[in-house]
Amino acid sequence: MTVGNSLIIWTNDSVNMLGGALSPAGGVQNLNGFLNISAGALSTPASIQNTGTINLTGGTLTADSINNTGTINFTGGTLHANTILNSLTNNGGTLSPGLSPGTTWIYGNYAQNSPGRLQIELASPTSYDKLVVSGNLAISGAYLDVTTLGDYTPSAGAVFDILDWGSLSLIGGGFNIQLPSLNAGLVWNTSLLYANGVLSVELAGDFNHDHVVNAADYVAWRKYDGTPAGYNMWRANFGNLSGSGMSSNMTVPEPTTGLLLLIAGTLTMRSRRRRAVA
């Protein structure tokens, strides 16, 4: 191992990081060697040229870019990088895009298998982590952990475009998603995550997504939801407006006998359909 003021070069050596910290300002050239990180931190504002093998089983590896023509065994620890040239497979570590917050560009394929994790941090509606994969994004029983930075709490109408891909493969239903808590009356909308990579925050009971909870949402509830819990959500939030932070003070209409019968009939038919399918 050769350590200079600005560059670390490995030539046919095995380097084991068991703790502590290395911060080569000029980057790392891993030439036919092994870089094993099980604890501690290696951080460089420059690039890592990997022609050997990187074994990341713990600790933290941070770089502006990783030019990988060798092998990366990513089974633990945390990886931060703005750019990764070539494909990457995550078999148990945490990929945390950019430098909190920031964007990781993977020029190749990215596969994330259980118990691998993708950590997305939200600082504001315009500042948040993002993962861009030029090739195929393959998700298999892995985790998506969404957290907020500082005292930021998302409000209604916030939209976060956290994923882009060339193609998408979902195995076993995609991500196990962990989301931060929201203020009362708000819910996370994950329905577009696998369509265009977007998470958003909406008013609870806004079933037609028009940023107000009104009678039109009852129609959408009947068409797309139909559950007692959904109806109670609509009723409890009737009159709320997105972005105003307050209710419009509209009075929710009291269910008439006909409306109650219609609701009961809708729920009964849905229950029969479920039993018939089962």
Beta pairing partners, 177: 144
How far apart, in whole angstroms, are the C-alpha atoms of residue 205 and residue 269? 22
Average pLDDT, rounded, for the chain: 86
Give percent helix, percent strand, percent coil of the chain, each to the nearest 5. Answer: 15, 50, 35
How far apart, in whole angstroms, are the C-alpha atoms of residue 83 and residue 238? 46
Query: Residue 6: which pLDDT band, with cuts at 50, 70 and 90?
Result: low
76-108 residue pLDDT tens = 999 999 999 999 999 999 999 988 799 999 999
How far apart, in whole angstroms, are the C-alpha atoms of residue 112 and residue 1? 32
**Of the listed ranges 18-32, 79-93, 232-246, the one predicted with least confidence:** 232-246
pTM, rounded to two decimals = 0.81
How far apart, in whole angstroms, are the C-alpha atoms of residue 68 and residue 115? 23
199-to-125, 130, 135, 146, 205 alpha-carbon distances in Å = 11, 11, 21, 10, 17
What is the per-residue pLDDT for 14? 79
Strand 130-140 relative to strand 28-31, pairing: unpaired
Does the structure show a pLDDT above 50 at 246? no
Does the structure show a pLDDT above 50 at 221? yes
What is the per-residue pLDDT for 61? 96
CB 84 within 8 A of CB 104: yes
Side-chain-side CA neighbours of residue 161 (13 Å): 5
**Tokens 């099980």 -> residue:** 38
**Of the listed ranges 3-12, 16-25, 32-41, 200-209, the one predicted with least confidence:** 3-12
**Tokens 């030019």 -> residue:** 67
What is the per-residue pLDDT for 244? 45
Does the structure show a pLDDT above 60 at 130? yes
- Helix and strand element counts for the chain (H, E): 4, 20
Query: Residue 265: which pLDDT band, with cuts at 50, 70 and 90?
Result: low
Residue 82 CA to its chain's centroid (Å): 16
CB 147 within 8 A of CB 120: yes
How far apart, in whole angstroms, are the C-alpha atoms of residue 199 and residue 210? 16
CB 104 within 8 A of CB 132: yes
134-187 residue pLDDT tens = 999 999 989 999 999 999 999 999 999 999 999 999 988 899 999 999 998 899
Inter-axis angle of helices 228-236 and 215-224, nearest 10: 170
